[in-house]
Structure 1
Amino acid sequence: MKLGIIASPEAASFHQAQAKGLEFLEFCINVGSDMEAFLSSIPGLKQASEETGVKVASIGRWGSDRISAEGIVEEELQTSYRLIDTAAELGCSNFVCGVNYIEELSFYANASFAIDYFRKLIEYGAPKGVQISAYNCSWNNFVDNELAWKVIHGHLPELGIKFDPSHSRYAGRDYLKEARDWGSRFRHIHIKGSVIIDGQRFDDPPAGMDQTDWGTFMAVLYGHGYSGGLSIEPHSHNWHGELGDKGVQFTIDYMTRFLF
């Protein structure tokens, strides 16, 4: 396994990751992002990656509407294709996305549209060496739990899962059971802490300073032969600035203990 971090898509991020001893970056080009600015930055990102040896391990897009009551949203499909092209250009083997749920449609109809969407991405990405994964975050996405995985991933054996234990914990699910049962489909992992007090989400502190059983989780990953990325996600409203920097270093030191 390799340890990296979610960062801004700019050359400085590669140098900062190199200074921390991290092996890769992850870019999240979410809904509302300036797509053209990102695409125009690719030559500089490639150069920085070559200079530092820090790779790009995942590119993802969260929050967008990919289906409507009529089917696939063509504009968003084309955006996904452009990001897959960019991933291939940067030597990145993972593209991550979700699919929104249309309330007026049945679960079957939503799942059918999601299968069509993911199938198109899989077929587009495969010749370029880019795998497709669904994220287990609920942000405008229903493909984040075992029911959806049984239907959608059950129908698409090539479709992976980007997994984050905190999302399962906050949704009241058993992240260790999900890792045990679906870990063979994990393609990318997010690393951030999660704290629940009196049944409510409190904070996302550095991993190792939270309630996640990271040792057992890592043991399950090793049990599945997982060899992908562990991507640190600074996500707390409290840990930012100088404290945030110290928190990232704490996570690096803590997670490195589990890497052999």
Structure 2
Amino acid sequence: MDLGIIASATEENFRLAQLRGLDFVELLVNEGDDPGNFCSRIGQLQQWKEQYGIKFGSIGRWKSLRIDREGQLIEKELQICYQLIDAASNLGCPNFVSGCNYVEELSYFDNCSAAIRFFSKLIEYAVPKGVKVLTYNCRKVNFVNNPEVWKIVHGHLPELGIKFDPSHSRYFGGDYLKETLEWGHRFHHVHLKGSLLVDGCPVDDPPAGLDQTDWKSFLALLRAKGYTGGLSIEPHSKVWTGELEGKGIEFTIDYIKSLLLKE
């Protein structure tokens, strides 16, 4: 398993990833970001990849509407996803991550059908380019986030993978170890984000290894499921900021490497 980090697309972040002994960076082009500007920088990103020896683990797009109120695919958003899949292919990035919104005016059946149509389009476009399409289990503008929906959407689309983050399962009453045991064969990318709950209430997202997640058991389950994808550190704490953020990242790197038996 490779170890990397979510980071903005700056040369300094590639330099830091190399300095910290990481394998890859993960890039996000979310709602509100400019996908055209991102795609225009492919040459520069490729140069930094080669200069610093840092790969691309995933390109993701969160918080965008993909389905309109009538249940139709939003063509503009579909084209943006195609652009980002092209970018992933050109950068040698194996994964494109996307969610799908729930439309309250539609039935659950119609929402699942719309999600299947959307992800089918992405898979049809991405697979010939050597890119896997993954859903994410974050709840932000996305309902394809738990085993009940996976049974329908992923059950219908065998080529559709999952980007998994144990914290989202913990925060919404799921069992992340059971989900990994049952669905780990579909995981192609994993986020390392700590989670801390007291009396059932979320408190903070401390660095992975300084939280309540059973990372030892989680990684052991990933190995048992044959997982060979990336582990992407996600600094997300409201407390561990500034100088503390860097120290937290370095702690997580050392901790996870010790579990992976890596120098």
Same fold (TM over 0.5): yes
Offset of residue 69 of structure 1: 2.5
In structure 1, the residue matched to 2:204 is 203
Task: List gaps (5 residues or longer) in structure 2.
Answer: none
Distance, in Å, in 1 between the alignment partners of 2:185 and 2:226 is 8
Amino acid in structure 1 at the alignment position of 2:145: D
Amino acid in structure 1 at the alignment position of 2:179: E
SS in 1 for 2:260: coil
Q: Is the 8 A contact 1:101 1:110 kept in 2?
A: yes
In structure 2, the residue matched to 1:117 is 118
Offset of residue 66 of structure 1: 0.3
CA deviation profile, 1:128-168 (whole Å, cap 9, x unmatched): 00000000000000000011100000000000000000000
Say yes or no: does 1:108 pair with 2:109: yes
Distance, in Å, in 2 between the alignment partners of 1:230 and 1:119 is 26
Say yes or no: does 1:148 pair with 2:155: no
Say yes or no: does 1:190 pair with 2:191: yes
Distance, in Å, in 2 between the alignment partners of 1:2 and 1:74 is 35
Counting only pairs closer than 5 Å after superposition, residues 127-146 of structure 1 correspond to structure 2 as 127-146=128-147
**CA RMSD, aligned part only?**
0.7
In structure 1, the residue matched to 2:55 is 55
Offset of residue 16 of structure 1: 1.1
Offset of residue 53 of structure 1: 1.1
In structure 2, the residue matched to 1:247 is 248
In structure 2, the residue matched to 1:27 is 27
In structure 2, the residue matched to 1:88 is 89
% identity of equivalent residues: 58
Counting only pairs closer than 5 Å after superposition, residues 63-82 of structure 1 correspond to structure 2 as 63-70=63-70, 71-82=72-83
SS in 2 for 1:21: coil
SS in 2 for 1:72: coil
Task: List gaps (5 residues or longer) in structure 1.
Answer: none
Distance, in Å, in 2 between the alignment partners of 1:35 and 1:230 is 25
Distance, in Å, in 1 between the alignment partners of 2:61 and 2:248 is 25
CA deviation profile, 1:18-72 (whole Å, cap 9, x unmatched): 0000000000111001222212222111001011110001000000000012310
CA deviation profile, 1:229-252 (whole Å, cap 9, x unmatched): 000000011111110000000000
SS in 1 for 2:133: strand
List structure 1 runs of 4+ shifted beyond 3 angstroms: none
Q: Is the 8 A contact 1:68 1:102 kept in 2?
A: yes
In structure 1, the residue matched to 2:234 is 233
